[in-house]
Amino acid sequence: MKQQDQPLRAIALHYDGDNAPTVTASGEGDIAAEIIRIAKQHNIPLREDAALADMLKDMQLGEAIPEALYRVIAEVIAYAYIVSGKFPKEKS
């Protein structure tokens, strides 16, 4: 039996450097394509991670990511900083 392809899924996160990252957009299919289009239009780094997207798909907009995902999300944020040539602000 052939496994069906999963639909395109996209989740956008916001991190202000102080609080836990939050979900700012989430969707499948055409909505996911639009999230990706807008991200590209604004030079927001993209990272494919189907397993992580599956874990985040049921979160509500504005909801902080669960503590259990802090490490993996930290890696995603570090990746975004690196590909953008940016560095997080230093804490005093």
In a domain? residue 60:
yes
In a domain? residue 91:
no
pTM here is 0.79
Q: Provide the residue type at 46 as one letter.
A: L
In a domain? residue 1:
no
- Containing domain of residue 74, as a range? 9-84
Asked if pLDDT for residue 92 goes beyond 70, the answer is no
Q: Provide the residue type at 44 as one letter.
A: I
Q: What is the model's pLDDT at position 89?
A: 66
Token pair of 43 as six digits: 């030079």
Q: In total, how many domains does the chain have?
A: 1
15 contacts 87 by C-beta, under 8 angstroms: no
Asked if pLDDT for residue 4 goes beyond 90, the answer is no
In a domain? residue 90:
no
Expressed in angstroms, the distance from the first to the final Cα of the chain is: 57
Q: What is the model's pLDDT at position 91?
A: 59
In a domain? residue 46:
yes
Q: What is the model's pLDDT at position 90?
A: 66
Tens-place pLDDT, residues 19-73: 999 999 999 999 999 999 999 999 999 999 999 999 999 999 999 999 999 999 9
